[in-house]
Amino acid sequence: MVLTMLKHELKNILREKMTVLMLLYPLILGVVGRVLINREIVSGQGIGLTAMLVTLFCGFAYGAMSGFSLLDDRDDQVLESIQISPISVHWYIWFKIGFAYVLAVIAGVFVIWYTGALELGFGDILLLAALSALQTPIAAFFINAFAKNKVEGFVSMKGMGFTMVFPIAGFFFLDWVEWCFAIAPAHWVAKAVQYSLLQPAIDAGLTAMNLSFYQYVVLGYGYNLLLVAGAYFLFKKNNQL
């Protein structure tokens, strides 16, 4: 049954050009980031911003992909059909989201490793990728909480995408001002990336950040999981599930 659902989900994603683009976009961004860094087209803070962007976009892009895939199922009345099957609707929804989350983690690990901008071990890269990928359920549920069709879904996606401005702006602040941008789901992974980039200077006492790498990661997981729960509640409430 799980294999059948995996095949259905892949078919559902690959049949639409928009979801295929969202699937490939982070990988393309990772390749571009590697070229920019290796050819020294970007340097200094540009390397940090590049590393942050390729880390952040995996979770958001796969969340948008998953959100539109769920919209397709709603348009095709797949959820109504599942209600008369042995499979729980909620289990099916979480399967779709979980599938996209796993893809986001794998893509995140690849782009962080491939760009080579962060000197981190595999364990820390996996932590960053998994944290960034938590944007996947947040974006997917947010889109489907307020959208009834793809046009409305695109508007909801743009609204969610606006939050990506916050971690970019927060990147330029190391003092208390950074907390003004902490409402964004991606803020925490962005700051963890920034800490890893500045760690040599931090260890030498030349600069400082409010939290350590693992503190940003742990608080980020806690905050993002709360947002996942909140987005899922809105999705269920607005769709009467």
pLDDT tens by residue, 204-215: 989 999 999 999
DSSP for 2-36 reads HHHHHHHHHHHHHTSHHHHHHHHHHHHHHHHHHHH
What's the whole-number mean pLDDT along residues 110-125? 85
Lowest mean pLDDT segment, chosen from 8-12, 93-97, 207-211: 8-12
Question: Alpha-carbon distance 164 to 95, whole Å?
Answer: 26
pLDDT confidence of residue 45: 63
